[in-house]
Amino acid sequence: MNERLNRRLVAVMFTDMVGYTALMQADERLGLDKRDRYMSALEGHHDAFGGTIVQRLGDGSMSMFPSALAAVLAAVEIQRELATEDVPVRIGVHVGEVVVDPERLTGDAVNIAARIESFAVPGGVMLSDSAYDQIKNRSDVGIVRLGRFRLKHVGRPFDLYAVAADGVVVPDPGALEGKGEQFASLPSNLPDPPAALVGRPAELASLVELAREHRVVTITGPGGVGKTRIVIELGRLLAPEFLDGVAFVALADVTEPADFLPALADALDVKEAEGRTLGDGVAALIGDKKALLLLDNLEQVVSAASEVAGLAESCPGLRIVTTSRTPLRIAAEREYPLAPLELPPPSDTDSTESLMAYPAVALFVERGRKARGSFELMPENAGVVAAVCRRLDGLPLALELAAARLRLLSPEALLERLDHALQVLTSGPRDIPERQQTLRATIDWSHSLLSESEQRACSGAWPSSREGAPSPISRPSAPTPARPSSTSWSRSSTRLSSRRTARVTGFGCSRRSESTLANGSRPRARRARSR
Ligand SMILES: Nc1ncnc2c1ncn2[C@@H]1O[C@H](COP(=O)(O)OP(=O)(O)O)[C@@H](O)[C@H]1O
Ligand SMILES: [Mg+2]
């Protein structure tokens, strides 16, 4: 019996005229006139693209096409024609197997196509994921993804897409209604960085690969090295691959491991519910979505690492990238130690062009220009600028803070202040450990860069920053965990070590002093934490 059925894989199209019944009640002549135009557009474009109208309903139609492409091209032409005649029609297309009778089509694909159409807006063309699959490689058909939906009485979830073309209406993904409901997706909330990224092409390429291959990637490095900045850039680069959302969760204010899950749930808008933990709620929201979660500043709550591991394990499509001064040490994790920006080697001839090719110099000069409009890298100051960047180890935050001083200081005066701070170190007591000596000196030099009022504002912050042990900066050549080597303070000179060795700087200090420095003002009030 089954063998006699005419089963075919086709593109099923549903259309209907929105508001037809109301229009007929209000103005029957106009209603009939619009319906005639609608039917004539349907017939003309079905003929042109090899479609067959199987059923005409009062204010709608069901038809089939040999391919999704034929159906989409016909749908676009139908909408273009009807747009000029002010006839509001919705169109939905789905590809699937149907049983073809002379007067009707049957099968799941028919019901699904009807549900897909129910989500279309007047003037729009809605596609199911299987219709989209057939045309996704066509460069001449614009498509917008609208999210994942649970269709009424349909077993599997569907991704819905809208055709974007001249004369076709594209719906707002947040306001779709139809027979079924949209799955909640992650908030796509990447912050907008205040300035363009300088350098880092190789680092980003490595991170993109790592994030594709590993469930958890941790970008490590001391404060100010650029972890937050690069993870935001990574999120932007990966966004097209993570269609269910790229969520950025700033954890700078979360200091207690117990507050980690509440903060995460809050950021993802997961509410407490009876009979499930917040962790379960977050895992249920993400489910099997292809989503990217960026957890910034995890270092204060690394002991919440098991929560991160659990989440990564229960959500197969999820990738987590964290930033932290220390790795989480969980099995799924790959660490990427982020080095400061590349510096010109001491042997460089310091020509302005060759210097600007080094990201550390480029960042300093760019921020210097912001501080003082007339500042430029010139042959006369090139050597001094390169020396300042080397003194600051290419650390982005240090470069930004120093460059801000160009408003009041010449590059020479800036270099002198840095030198002075470093001399304090060499003249200091010899019996304290090398690492602490270096730390003290770098805090001193960073302090010496501030104006008097800023120094006063900082005075409360320094003691706590001295207590916090900063992490050494390393310049790894490959994304493998770097073993912190001893500080390579050179006893024979007042310079910090050359590239590719571990160093300590004052910017590994507490967040409070970082934000004080970064804003050049008092620390911002912290967001009240709910316990
Ligand atoms: N590659 C870069 N290009 C431009 N600015 C950068 C770059 N890296 C860091 N910065 C800036 O330097 C400062 C410190 O970077 P940030 O990402 O906050 O460091 P971290 O998160 O490691 O403490 C920020 O103002 C940031 O915008
Ligand atoms: Mg940060």
Number of separate domains in the chain: 3
Backbone angles phi, psi at 100, to 5 degrees: -100, 120
Give CA–CA dist 60/18, Å, rounded: 9
Burial annotation 470-483 (CB, 10 A radius, 16+ → b, else e): bbbbbbbeebebbe
Return the HEC string of 346-381: CCCCCCHHHHHCCHHHHHHHHHHHHHCCCCCCCCCC
Of 314, 337, 360, the position where a domain reaches its end is 337
Is residue 378 one of the residues assigned to a domain?
yes
pLDDT exceeds cutoff 90 at 521: no
**What ligand 1 atom has the least distance to the C-alpha of 514?**
23
| 133 and 280 within one domain | no
Ligand 1, closest atom to CA 221? 22
Query: Is residue 377 domain-shared with residue 317, that is, in the same domain?
Result: no
| Atom 15, ligand 1: residue with shortest CA distance | 226
Does 239 lie in the same domain as 131?
Answer: no
The predicted-structure confidence for 307-334, as pLDDT tens digits, reads as follows: 999 999 999 999 999 999 999 999 999 9
Tell whether the model's pLDDT for residue 475 goes beyond 60.
no
Q: Is the domain of 250 the same as that of 304?
A: yes
For residues 92 and 237, state if they share a domain: no
Instruction: Give this prediction's pTM.
Output: 0.60
Among the bound ligands, name the one nearest to the CA of residue 223. Answer: 1
Q: Is residue 528 part of a domain?
A: no
How many angstroms is it from 108 CA to the middle of ligand 2? 51
- Shared-domain flag, residues 270 and 412: no
- Indicate which atom in ligand 1 lies nearest the CA of residue 366: 4
Shared domain check, 161 and 60:
yes
CATH of the domain at 139: 3.30.70.1230
Q: What local confidence, expressed as pLDDT, does residue 451 receive?
A: 57
DSSP string covering 474-487: ---SSSSPPPPPPP
Give the confidence band of 469 by pLDDT, cuts at 50, 70, 90: very low
Instruction: Tell me if 529 is assigned to some domain.
Output: no
State the closest ligand 1 atom to the C-alpha of 225, by its place in the atom list counted from 1: 22
**How many Å lie between the centroid of ligand 2 and the Cα of residue 517?**
14
Q: In angstroms, what is the span from residue 19 Cα to ligand 2's centroid? A: 53
Nearest CA to 124 out of 188, 158, 175 is that of: 175
Model pLDDT for residues 83-135, shown as the tens digit of each residue: 999 999 999 999 999 999 878 899 999 999 999 999 999 999 999 999 999 99
In which band, very low, low, confident or very high, does the pLDDT at 457 lie, cut at 50, 70 and 90?
A: low
Q: Do both 274 and 403 map to the same domain?
A: no
**Structural domain contains residue 157:** yes
Q: Which of 283, 304, 337 is the last residue of a domain?
A: 337
What is the CB < 6 Å shell around ligand 1?
Answer: 195, 197-200, 221, 223-229, 323, 363, 396-397, 400
pLDDT at 447 exceeding the cut of 90: no
Q: What is the pLDDT of residue 420?
A: 76
- What's residue 155's pLDDT? 77
The confidence score (pLDDT) of residue 422 equals 57
Establish if 279 belongs to a structural domain. yes
Please choose, from the candidates 206, 165, 139, the residue with its C-alpha nearest in 3D space to the C-alpha of residue 75: 165
Give the model's confidence band at 485: pLDDT under 50 very low, under 70 low, under 90 confident, else very high: very low
User: Is residue 189 one of the residues assigned to a domain?
Assistant: no
Please report the pLDDT score of residue 345 as a whole number.
Answer: 87
The verdict on residue 495 lying in a domain is: yes
Residue 161 sits in the same domain as residue 214: no
The pick from 219, 229, 296, 513 for probing ligand 1's pocket by mutation, whose C-beta has the most ligand atoms within 8 angstroms, reads 229
Look at residue 489 in the predicted model and tell me its pLDDT: 24
- 322 located within any domain: yes
Decide which of 61 and 288 is more confident: 61
Residue 225 CA, ligand 2 centroid: distance in Å: 8
Residue 431 has pLDDT above 70, yes or no: no
Q: How many CA atoms lie within 13 A of 122 on its CB side?
A: 10
363 and 281 in a single domain? The answer is: no
Q: Residue 296 CA: which ligand 1 atom is closest?
A: 21
pLDDT of residue 209: 97
For residue 261, the enclosing domain spans 201-337
pLDDT in tens, 33-58: 999 999 999 999 999 999 999 999 87
CA distance 309 to 315: 10
The confidence band for 241, taking pLDDT boundaries of 50, 70 and 90, is confident
Asked if residue 357 and residue 332 are part of one domain, the reply reads no
- Residue pair 279/261 in contact (Cβ under 8 Å)? The answer is yes
Do residues 372 and 497 both lie within one domain? yes
Task: Name the band, by pLDDT with cuts 50, 70 and 90, for residue 183.
Answer: low
Alpha-carbon distances of 385 from 180, 402, 507, rounded to whole Å: 62, 11, 20
The tokens for 481 are 């965990």
Is residue 472 predicted with pLDDT exceeding 50?
no
Tokens for 92, please give them: 């939905």
Which CATH number belongs to the domain containing residue 257 in this structure?
A: 3.40.50.300
pLDDT 10s digits, 375-409: 999 999 999 999 999 999 999 999 998 999 999 89
Q: What pLDDT digit, counting tens, does each position of 243-285 carry?
A: 788 999 999 999 999 999 999 999 988 888 778 888 888 998 8
**Contact in structure between 262 and 282 (CB atoms under 8 Å):** no
Which ligand has the shortest distance to the CA of 227? 1
Q: How far is the CA of 285 from the centre of ligand 2 (A)?
A: 26
How far, in Å, from the CA of 511 to the mean position of ligand 1?
Answer: 14
Q: Which ligand is nearest to the CA of 221?
A: 1
